[in-house]
Structure 1
Amino acid sequence: MRRPSHWFERGVKFSKKYFFWLLKNPDKTQQKLTRYFPLGYEDTLTFSELNVERSDVLLFAYTSALLSFIGFFGLYLFLFFASMLSVLKIDTVPLALLALMLIVIPFVTMNLIFNYPRSYARNIQIHSLGDIPEILSYLVMYLKLVPNLENSMKFAASESSTTLAYDLRKLLWDMEIRVYHGVHDALSHFAIRWGRFSEYFKRSLHLIQSSLQEKDEVSRIVTLDRALDVSLEGTKETMNQYANKLHQPTVILYSIGIMIPLSLVAMLPAAGLVGIRITLLQMFVLYDILLPLFVFFYTRKILLSRPAAFNPSVIPRDHPALVGIHVKRRFSGAVAV
């Protein structure tokens, strides 16, 4: 079944249709691709399975920057003329900040679009590697009963609905069309592909392969159990390392998200005494736009560095216990607005 088109792919098609003229010089485009895109970027696009090229990403980044500049420039002109005609009472400070955003926002937007395939691939990697214990359990479960590697892979691919199982099904299809020389060659390729992100998964797959070479059943079962233990021990070790590194990011997040807003509120009366005028619009931009955006992106950065563990269970949207939650969510959103 063909997967639905990703919003990034739709944005690339829109850019190629209406803004192709932004990259009309092939020589300069090739120089920019060599300068801005690292060597591993092509592998990132392949891993993410986004149907785009490096030049498409560059064009989409330029298009997003241009559209964001046009949008903020139109807003700036509207507020400027409204202030000049006394339709709206706006100080010079908000206009100066908006003029600064005309320069900053397009560069930020272009950088976000440029780095999105890498963050998207990282997100896929985290969720896929979280499926490792389930896939290994299905493989080991079958091999303990029937020592047939190919059938165990088919069993794991059919019983699991995870993203890693989807890649395993693709591997089985490649075996059918003779991309690989055999099941051991295919599984070795699978181990190398995911071993770049999880060394313990690679070791577990090699142990599963070596279990078929054992002479007696007891040794085979011991080797299969060892394959599961290696995976679980590796997950525990990487999660402990991640937890030990969370102290400094947590302090920064607490300072920016809680301490600094409270400190600024406490300093507002003192600012009025020294003649600094702070308007409601400036407070809105700082507390409702800038600080939440910083907290969101910094939290997202912390979570993207999280190693793979166990994925949470999938709860369908039509679950009976979720009937009242959707109504509460809509009500909470309306209250927030």
Structure 2
Amino acid sequence: MFKVGLFGKKKTKEEIALERSEEKKKKQLEEVTKLRRIEVPKTREVGLRMRPASYTKFLTEIKKEPITKYEKACALAEKILPIGVSENMEKKWTKHLRTAFINATPKGGIALTLLTGIFLTLIFILSVIVGAGSAFGLFYLFFALIAIWYVYSYPGNRSKIMDVKMSSSTVLAVLYMVIYMRTSPNLEGAIRFASENLKGPLAWDLKKLLWDMEVGSYKSADEAISYYVEKWKDKNREFSESLHLLRSTAVEPARREDIFNETVKVILNGTRERTRHYAAGMRMPMMLVHAMGILLPVMGLVMFPVVLIFMADAVKPYFIVFGYNVALPVTLYFFMSHIVSTKPVTFSQPDISMAKNTPPIGKFRISGRDIPIWPIAIIFGLPLLGFGLLGLSSLDVFTSVNYSIAIIAGLAISIIVFGYLDSFQKIKIRNDIERIEDEFSVALFQLGNQISGGTPIELAIDKAADNLKEMKISDLFRITSMNMKKFNYTFEQALFDKDIGAIWYYPSNLIQSIMKAVVESSRKSLTSAATSMVIISRYLKDVHDVKEEINEMLGETISSMKFLAMFLAPLVAGVTVTMAVIIMQILTSLGATLGSLFTEGSSNAAQGLLLTPWAMSGAPPISPAEFQLVVGIYMLQVAFLLTIFLNKIQYGEDAIGERYLLTYTILFALIIYIASWFTVYTMFGGPISGLLTMGVS
């Protein structure tokens, strides 16, 4: 196995490559080994076909396990409750299930929804019979409706996620197809090349298309591709048009070069245009999230103590818990999910699966071992949680609220530790891959330009490496040059040798795939390879420019979201909880003082004055510390939801970026929240408490 020199701390890639080349030389002295040739597109292949083994691999990719829990549940539900389904419903469900790669039938999915509803209804009836109470009934009904809706909409939601993931790879797919067809003008082969070099759902979709061609599901390859073009017309018009243009190269070979350029322009311009419209339409949703989801609900909490005074019998404390820690976050989540679902696809993030020694999601690596993160995150948060719980019952309001803030800090630290440990190793690898992919277009242009000028390939590689010496990608050429000189390797062998090939130091699927195509071009002639390099570098530059334009378009939205999540939401929450605590102190102290002025016989007059018994006793239904817990948890929920929302707008489905962003968002939100509590309470709470004490005495 190869270790990735790109991310090493002690040795450079050149030093590691030199060591490996020495080892290689020793092996060559001992025996003559046959160099393995990598599989690259062959110009001779006109009708590329997938074998059954390829389809088996395809099935393995889309099913890491034999069957999911949802699929098992659908199969069982269909046996228990065999029902008929209308034709329209069956078409709709079949489309969702196929897109989501779910091995279930529409009858099974609908039967599972009905059985879920029946089961939850029976539990609700049972709770009413045993007298569980209205509070339990309210909570239960809310969660039951969400559960039923979740089961019913699972295939549809899953298919939307798959569509987004597939669409995020369409630009790269078109790029791969164009690169392939420049060497072998065969669309079926181009689709296969793209499917082999892409990762995720779009690769599965393309492999399924190729398999359908193999088994004769369509009369011809052209019919299959025509169906595929039609399938994508409503999902991603630019991708559909690009495929249609590539089809036309078969009937217009004279315009092939122009068609390739036009194809790349169509997919990039379409992506740019859709993002521009989306960014312009984000202003109103952002205002709604800002006002209705955060500012107004949090500021409304200031009025809660006053509401308790006059409506204590109608408004119970659990209403605020349910409303702010359950109903509002769930509503906010669904609203944000809807906004994200309308986002046009842009680009997928670099794939780090090829980088060696990279821990999986949910783990981090120490001394070669993958360590689960969640136990460590819990251990870091437990001390503060325990400390806060011990002092929560303190009689002093300021002290008890501080202890309750320690509980919020414990929860936040657990989230921060989890996010940091799950991202700090992976994000560095991802950023390095992203950087070398951005540099790759310049590197290709430099090398192609040198070769097209008549420079021998060995000298061209050296000159390109010197011109790019400030970039990480320059080592790709240095190692290639060393292999060619030391072992008298060809350009292909120097890049792709199984032991010391320069390409293996760069765990980027994009770079490896493009270099395969360049190597194939070099088999025709070096001039052909140079032309391919220059043209591909132009394509990559266009892709990079569109990425930058999209980031600029979404910049205002992203900045607003970051400001809201990291600063404004926790600041408003901190100020609000402080003012609410002060109001509760005033009302409690005032009620207790007035209550002591009335004799036992005239207590009805006191109750008539303040309308609630708790005001006279000085013990509100919800203590300031408990009130702070509700607001603090809501603040964490809002920061968490905004982080997920922000990450999906900026990067799409990216678990690494999500955890990395979550770490710093929660950290800053916690600091602002605690600072605003102490600052505002020091300015107003202390003096007011002193005045209340003087008044009572």
1:318 aligns with 2:359: yes
Aligned match of 1:37: 89
Aligned match of 1:290: 327
Amino acid aligned to 1:264: G
1:66 aligns with 2:118: yes
* TM-score, length of structure 1 as denominator length: 0.79
**2:184 equivalent among 143, 146, 151:** 146
How far off is 1:244 after superposition?
2.4
Q: Distance in 1 between matches of 2:100 and 2:297?
A: 38
How far off is 1:112 after superposition?
2.6
Aligned match of 1:199: 237
Matches of residues 140-219 of structure 1 in structure 2 within 5 Å? Answer: 140-216=178-254, 219=255
Pick closer, same or farther for the CA change 1:329–1:256 going to 2, 3 Å.
farther
1:250 aligns with 2:312: no
**1:276 equivalent among 292, 307, 312:** 312
Q: Distance in 2 between matches of 1:52 and 1:252?
A: 38
How far off is 1:275 after superposition?
4.0
Pick closer, same or farther for the CA change 1:66–1:36 going to 2, 3 Å.
farther
Pick closer, same or farther for the CA change 1:138–1:331 going to 2, 3 Å.
farther
How far off is 1:70 after superposition?
4.5
Aligned match of 1:54: 106
* TM-score, length of structure 2 as denominator length: 0.41
Pick closer, same or farther for the CA change 1:104–1:292 going to 2, 3 Å.
closer
Q: Distance in 1 between matches of 2:380 and 2:106?
A: 41
Q: Distance in 2 between matches of 1:291 and 1:61?
A: 25
User: Would you say the 8 A contact 2:78–2:107 is kept in 1?
Assistant: no
Q: Secondary structure at the match of 1:40?
A: helix
Q: Distance in 2 between matches of 1:140 and 1:118?
A: 32
How far off is 1:113 after superposition?
1.8
1:121 aligns with 2:159: yes
Q: Secondary structure at the match of 1:37?
A: helix
Pick closer, same or farther for the CA change 1:214–1:281 going to 2, 3 Å.
same
Q: Secondary structure at the match of 1:168?
A: helix
1:15 aligns with 2:77: yes
User: Residue deviations 1:20-66, cap 9 Å, x none?
Assistant: 2xx46xxxx43xx3399385343233333322222212211122223
User: Would you say the 8 A contact 1:12–1:59 is kept in 2?
Assistant: yes
Q: Secondary structure at the match of 1:169?
A: helix
Q: Distance in 2 between matches of 1:13 and 1:333?
A: 41
1:303 aligns with 2:340: yes
Pick closer, same or farther for the CA change 1:72–1:302 going to 2, 3 Å.
farther
1:96 aligns with 2:158: no
Q: Greater CA deviation, 176-185 or 129-138?
A: 176-185
1:259 aligns with 2:311: no
- Higher relative CO (CA 8 A, sep ≥ 6), structure 1 or 2? 2
Amino acid aligned to 1:314: D
Identity across aligned pairs (percent)?
20
Pick closer, same or farther for the CA change 1:298–1:232 going to 2, 3 Å.
same
User: Would you say the 8 A contact 2:90–2:106 is kept in 1?
Assistant: no
Amino acid aligned to 1:187: I
1:233 aligns with 2:269: yes
Q: Distance in 2 between matches of 1:221 and 1:185?
A: 24
Pick closer, same or farther for the CA change 1:45–1:302 going to 2, 3 Å.
same
Q: Distance in 1 between matches of 2:381 and 2:167?
A: 34
Amino acid aligned to 2:302: A
User: Would you say the 8 A contact 1:9–1:50 is kept in 2?
Assistant: yes
User: Would you say the 8 A contact 1:66–1:106 is kept in 2?
Assistant: no
User: Would you say the 8 A contact 2:75–2:104 is kept in 1?
Assistant: no
Amino acid aligned to 1:60: L
Q: Distance in 2 between matches of 1:284 and 1:36?
A: 42
Q: Secondary structure at the match of 2:350?
A: coil
How far off is 1:79 after superposition?
7.3
Amino acid aligned to 2:98: T
User: Residue deviations 1:167-220, cap 9 Å, x none?
Assistant: 11122222222223333222222211222311211111111111233344xx31
How far off is 1:110 after superposition?
2.3
User: Residue deviations 1:225-260, cap 9 Å, x none?
Assistant: 110110111111122222222223222222333123
How far off is 1:279 after superposition?
4.5
Q: Distance in 2 between matches of 1:263 and 1:194?
A: 46
User: Residue deviations 1:146-175, cap 9 Å, x none?
Assistant: 223232222212122231121111222222
User: Would you say the 8 A contact 1:68–1:105 is kept in 2?
Assistant: no
Structure possessing the higher radius of gyration over alpha carbons: 2
Amino acid aligned to 2:222: H
Pick closer, same or farther for the CA change 1:71–1:223 going to 2, 3 Å.
same
How many residues in Structure 1 have an aligned counterpart in Structure 2? 311
Q: Which runs of 5+ in 1 are unaligned?
A: 81-94
User: Would you say the 8 A contact 2:169–2:198 is kept in 1?
Assistant: no
User: Would you say the 8 A contact 1:76–1:98 is kept in 2?
Assistant: no
Q: Distance in 1 between matches of 2:308 and 2:87?
A: 49
How far off is 1:332 after superposition?
7.2
User: Would you say the 8 A contact 1:208–1:227 is kept in 2?
Assistant: yes
